[in-house]
Structure 1
Amino acid sequence: MDKIVDFLGDITWWQWILFIILLIIVRDVFFNKKHIITHNFPFVGHFRYILESIGPELRQYIVANNREELPFNRVERSWVYASAKNQNNYEGFGTDQNIYETNYIFIKNAISPYRMKADNPNISDPYFLPCAKVMGLHHKRRKPFRPASVINISAMSFGSLSARAVESLNSGAAKCYAYHNTGEGGLSPYHKQGGDIVYQIGTGYFGVRDEEGNFSIDALVKLVEENPCIKAIEIKLSQGAKPGKGGVLPASKITPEISKIRRVPLGKDVISPPYHRAFSTNQEMIDFVEKIANATGLPVGIKAAIGKLDDWRIIARLMKEQGKGPDFISIDGGEGGTGAAPPSFADHVAMPWMYGFRNIYKIFKDVNLSDQIVFVGSGKLGFPSKAAMAFAMGADILNVAREAMMSIGCIQAQSCHNNTCPTGIATQNKWLQSGINVANKAERLSYYFKNFCKEFIEITHACGYEHPCQFTMDDVDMNLSDQDFTKSLADSFEYHKTKVPFESMKALMECPFLGGNYRELNGQTTIDKQKIRY
């Protein structure tokens, strides 16, 4: 035994390394039955897999140029990060965009910008930018709701996101008067940090289901009564990542906490079907909306990625004839988002946001309903220039998901579906979550939203308007890359948005349905003047 100890003690560190390499080579050559590369090129072949595993990071920070990478390029990510940190988010020496590429957007500035009046709330609060429409007012819901921010947090469930990430998002939403969509995973304690809530009901009816997994109106009414933070309800018909495809929540991922929140059993896979069981026809869907609205008193909307349009025409006709139906419609981009999906779905199923929104808005405008519905845009719109285009097309508010995640630290590692998110945002790994400082990340989310609103207001004023709802389809041109070079959105998409009734920003601030607890501060905001970037 002593001789063995002496022998091991005489082995140098490089001899140990050679010995380990030899063991790996022996294993690769004689025992590896799965991987050709490591069998044919023992030891060296492992470097190929290492480089492949860190490929996204290498491309993001070393290989790709500023405007090259998708879904968000380096310039877009840098703008979100700088805005969230309340740092300088400007760029110098002119644009590096290819301004002649197809679908490039040009926003038309006015010869004389809008000049604020003395009673304009933006003089004291440069971030105040509420929705110009009120959800539920047309259908006379008992609890109408005017979102206090035009930019809000899109649907991302607890379970998909970590507890600390959800808590950071909601705490940040409370600081900037935005609402927070729960996603279909139910209302968790982490959603209740002061921000307004839009409660989403998916095909699994998580949080509002009975023991058989069917929708329970009694459970929903109880949830709403116990949680006054819920300001509206959204019925998810489909999502951009995988429209028409259900999902499975594996038993291994169902913790006692998730079981309680989602009202699902422990130790059993839970299926989310691709369709709703509470209704099957367009008329039944409208009746379902009215049932929920009557029982809760809240505005009720629907969310969908857009594909075939025949059913949408029927829905619009029924709503016009019956004077009932959704109070708001959330239109999701078919290019996908935070939800993991097969590439075939994310790449090819459903229309991109621009085309989907155009088609749906025109359908409801043709039956004179576009002024009665709050249109919600969702699909990489978390940048002021894209927001201007969306509002010119008819959007009333925006929901952002990935941009909100980036504001609290997401680095676009694209590992959301592997439970290995290195920032702890899209994982249930306790160690990875531990790096999230909730107070700090909440502040970053609020700064991103505030700086977004401030820059959006500045673009609006540059175009001669007080509120972005006043943008028209003629205020934005799109490059078509043909002999005409550019056409206005109105000429390109062949419609004009319906004029949104708008009196003044002051009138919006005094609206009794304004959310975000804004009016509780009597119009005075807790803004640190030293931190406003002019």
Structure 2
Amino acid sequence: MITDITTQGIDFLSSLFIFFVGLFVLLIVVVFIRDVSQSRDAIRRNYPVIGRFRYVFSTLGEFFRQYFFAMDREEMPFNRAEREWVYKTASGKDNTMAFGSTKNLTPPGTPLFVNTTFPTLDEHATQPPPIIIGPQCPHPYEAKSLINVSAMSYGALSKPAIRALSRGAKLAGCWLNTGEGGLAPYHLEGGCDLVFQIGTAKYGVRNAEGQLDDDRLREIASNPQVRMFEIKISQGAKPGKGGILPGTKVTPEIALIRGIAPGMDSISPNRHIEISDTGELLDFVQHVREVTGKPTGFKMVVGDEDWIKLFCSEIHQRGIESAPDFMTIDSCDGGTGAAPMPLMDDVGLPIKESLPMVVDVLTQYGLRDRIRVIASGKLITPSGVAWALCAGADFVNSARGFMFSLGCIQALKCNRNTCPTGITTHDRRLQKGLNPAEKAVKIKNFVDKIHYGTALIAHSCGVPHQRALTRAHCRIVQPDGKSTLMRVLYPRSDVLPEYHQPETEPHYF
């Protein structure tokens, strides 16, 4: 009896095996016929079935490189060492290292900080002083955090991601930039300070024709959490091109917040239709500031020095009160969810060149203390933030650093609504893995460690706090392998005689 049952079981398994083998062979035959009969792909036509593996291996290659083949410092745009530092920091884990640095310190452009023989004692260390932005405005903003959350829209990011950023920014005491997608209730949920960004499509403050609606602008400004307004001229990944939000991400809720049609691709104009020259830019800044009563500035990617000089000259012709309250300088290698490769790779100046340039021109024209400078672009570690402070920035904005804090694994799926971590997708199944309350704590940890790490560098350089760092505290590696003081590479720019003002010496020298 038992033998009969065993024999029947073996026969069933054999039949099942033959069935699946036959099914597999049939599938191969069908694929073979399809490949040889199509004319769109030469590889598949010439090498049916086998040619398909090329696509599979190409698709999986980025994941295999990330986990198995790339060294800690090799990947782009952020390598494993940088990501791991953020992951451990955000999780509150020990991020000290053993045995020695894996960072190559010889490539040109590498910053090296100048330690002093007699570093600052812990008991002599102080907190970096806050900076007041827009002191002439009816509602100025006193900002304390060295690093803040850069522009990321609700729509580009998911609902739980925005909720986590809002709660985390409140815990960390930093601001959160809404991005150009308008003000969502999830931005307000955590109670943090907000910077409302006005993009070229005027999402959230537009009328039916897509123009600026002053009534809507006043309504946004009436919220006490909205502390500043940022006019987006251009961003690092796509200067000269508007934002792109695929229709799959334009849910009815997002469409309502932005004032657009649901389910349709949302493509912003490549510039503000009201702004075609420097004068109109200053007019627009002044208009927004008058309507809102709050500090107003703009974000841009720098293309050359001459325009910055023209801009400063125009301010002096009008009067210093016409100047923007801040400028956010983005790097040409900035991040985004979707951008054309020619713009992402080859247009604009990197932050390491543009930031010192802007600071020097503002100094020459006596505007450095009037216009606050915010640096943005791949500055996600204490050394990056410390470099920006040495160069003359008042604050640093980061988007991808905070995305890593949320759990981003650099899957490069931001534009496909298939983000595996739930950060840039509106697929509710994928969003379930992102717990806003838990991630908010990680954001706070990240900000705290940035402050702690930059303080370590500052104290090693012999100054009491991070804002006391100057160009005398940083050296830059040159092509010959030797390093040169940033103060020598970018000597102090004296104020031009016609713009001289009896003010205190700028804090960054």
TM-score scaled to structure 1, two decimals?
0.86
Correspondence for 1:414 among 412, 415, 428: 412
Letter of the aligned partner of 1:330 in structure 2? T
Q: How does 1:253-264 map to 2 (within 5 A)?
A: 253-264=249-260
Does the alignment pair 1:329 with 2:327? yes
Unaligned runs of 5+ in 2: 1-10, 495-503
CA distance in 1, matches of 2:274, 2:313: 22
CA distance in 2, matches of 1:252, 1:335: 26
CA distance in 1, matches of 2:245, 2:45: 36
Secondary structure, aligned partner of 2:97: coil
Letter of the aligned partner of 1:276 in structure 2? H
Correspondence for 1:493 among 490, 495, 509: 490
Does the alignment pair 1:198 with 2:204? no
CA distance in 2, matches of 1:94, 1:496: 38
Correspondence for 1:72 among 67, 78, 84: 78
Q: 1:318 offset after TM fit, Å?
A: 1.8
Whether the 8 Å CA contact 1:21–1:43 is kept in 2: the answer is: no
Does the alignment pair 1:95 with 2:69? no
Letter of the aligned partner of 2:305 in structure 1? L
Whether the 8 Å CA contact 1:407–1:444 is kept in 2: the answer is: yes
Whether the 8 Å CA contact 1:333–1:351 is kept in 2: the answer is: yes
Q: How does 1:126-275 map to 2 (within 5 A)?
A: 129=128, 132-137=130-135, 140-192=136-188, 193-225=190-222, 227-266=223-262, 268-275=264-271
Instruction: Specify the alignment match of 1:278 in structure 2.
Output: 274
Q: C-alpha offsets along residues 271-304 of structure 1, whole Å, 9 cap, x if unaligned?
A: 4111102222211111211111122111001100
Instruction: Specify the alignment match of 1:4 in structure 2.
Output: none
Distance 1:13 1:423, change over 3 A: farther
CA distance in 1, matches of 2:31, 2:493: 66
Q: C-alpha offsets along residues 10-55 of structure 1, whole Å, 9 cap, x if unaligned?
A: 7634323322322332222222314444444444444333322222
Q: 1:481 offset after TM fit, Å?
A: 2.8
Correspondence for 1:466 among 460, 464, 467: 464
Distance 1:39 1:277, change over 3 A: same
Distance 1:52 1:269, change over 3 A: closer
Unaligned runs of 5+ in 1: 1-7, 123-127, 503-534
Q: 1:367 offset after TM fit, Å?
A: 0.4
What is the number of equivalent residue pairs in this alignment? 484
Moved more, 95-104 or 401-410: 95-104
Secondary structure, aligned partner of 2:270: coil
Instruction: Specify the alignment match of 1:12 in structure 2.
Output: 15
Does the alignment pair 1:111 with 2:114? no
Share of identical aligned residues, percent?
37
Q: How does 1:384-403 map to 2 (within 5 A)?
A: 384-403=382-401
Instruction: Specify the alignment match of 2:63 in structure 1.
Output: 57
Letter of the aligned partner of 2:240 in structure 1? G
CA distance in 2, matches of 1:348, 1:451: 33
Distance 1:486 1:264, change over 3 A: same
Whether the 8 Å CA contact 2:333–2:378 is kept in 1: the answer is: no
CA distance in 2, matches of 1:267, 1:425: 20
Instruction: Specify the alignment match of 2:431 in structure 1.
Output: 433
Q: 1:394 offset after TM fit, Å?
A: 0.3
Q: 1:222 offset after TM fit, Å?
A: 0.9
Q: 1:238 offset after TM fit, Å?
A: 0.2
Instruction: Specify the alignment match of 2:29 in structure 1.
Output: 26
Whether the 8 Å CA contact 1:178–1:195 is kept in 2: the answer is: yes
Whether the 8 Å CA contact 1:332–1:378 is kept in 2: the answer is: yes
CA distance in 1, matches of 2:306, 2:175: 32
Q: How does 1:333-372 map to 2 (within 5 A)?
A: 333-372=331-370
Q: C-alpha offsets along residues 343-372 of structure 1, whole Å, 9 cap, x if unaligned?
A: 211111001111111222222111011122
Distance 1:301 1:16, change over 3 A: farther
Q: 1:156 offset after TM fit, Å?
A: 0.8
CA distance in 1, matches of 2:212, 2:355: 29
Q: 1:464 offset after TM fit, Å?
A: 1.5
Whether the 8 Å CA contact 2:150–2:176 is kept in 1: the answer is: yes
Q: 1:77 offset after TM fit, Å?
A: 0.7
Q: 1:460 offset after TM fit, Å?
A: 1.1
Letter of the aligned partner of 1:371 in structure 2? D
CA distance in 1, matches of 2:441, 2:87: 12
CA distance in 1, matches of 2:16, 2:300: 61
Q: 1:252 offset after TM fit, Å?
A: 4.6
CA distance in 2, matches of 1:115, 1:500: 25
CA distance in 2, matches of 1:429, 1:267: 14
Q: C-alpha offsets along residues 390-425 of structure 1, whole Å, 9 cap, x if unaligned?
A: 111101100011111001100011111122111111
Instruction: Specify the alignment match of 2:501 in structure 1.
Output: none
Q: C-alpha offsets along residues 120-153 of structure 1, whole Å, 9 cap, x if unaligned?
A: 7x6xxxxx656x421101xx10111122211111
Whether the 8 Å CA contact 1:28–1:38 is kept in 2: the answer is: no
Q: 1:251 offset after TM fit, Å?
A: 4.5
Secondary structure, aligned partner of 2:229: strand
Moved more, 365-374 or 13-22: 13-22
Whether the 8 Å CA contact 2:155–2:245 is kept in 1: the answer is: no
Secondary structure, aligned partner of 1:450: helix
Instruction: Specify the alignment match of 2:3 in structure 1.
Output: none
Distance 1:380 1:248, change over 3 A: closer
Q: C-alpha offsets along residues 432-456 of structure 1, whole Å, 9 cap, x if unaligned?
A: 1111111111111111111111111
Distance 1:213 1:477, change over 3 A: same
Does the alignment pair 1:83 with 2:89? yes
Q: 1:495 offset after TM fit, Å?
A: 3.5
Instruction: Specify the alignment match of 1:302 in structure 2.
Output: 298
Q: What RMSD over aligned residues (CA atoms) do the two structures have, in Å? A: 2.2
Secondary structure, aligned partner of 1:57: helix
Whether the 8 Å CA contact 1:243–1:305 is kept in 2: the answer is: yes
Instruction: Specify the alignment match of 2:453 in structure 1.
Output: 455
Whether the 8 Å CA contact 1:472–1:496 is kept in 2: the answer is: no
Whether the 8 Å CA contact 2:246–2:415 is kept in 1: the answer is: no
Secondary structure, aligned partner of 1:461: helix
CA distance in 1, matches of 2:24, 2:174: 56
Moved more, 14-23 or 269-278: 14-23
Letter of the aligned partner of 1:217 in structure 2? D
CA distance in 2, matches of 1:110, 1:10: 76
Q: 1:335 offset after TM fit, Å?
A: 1.0
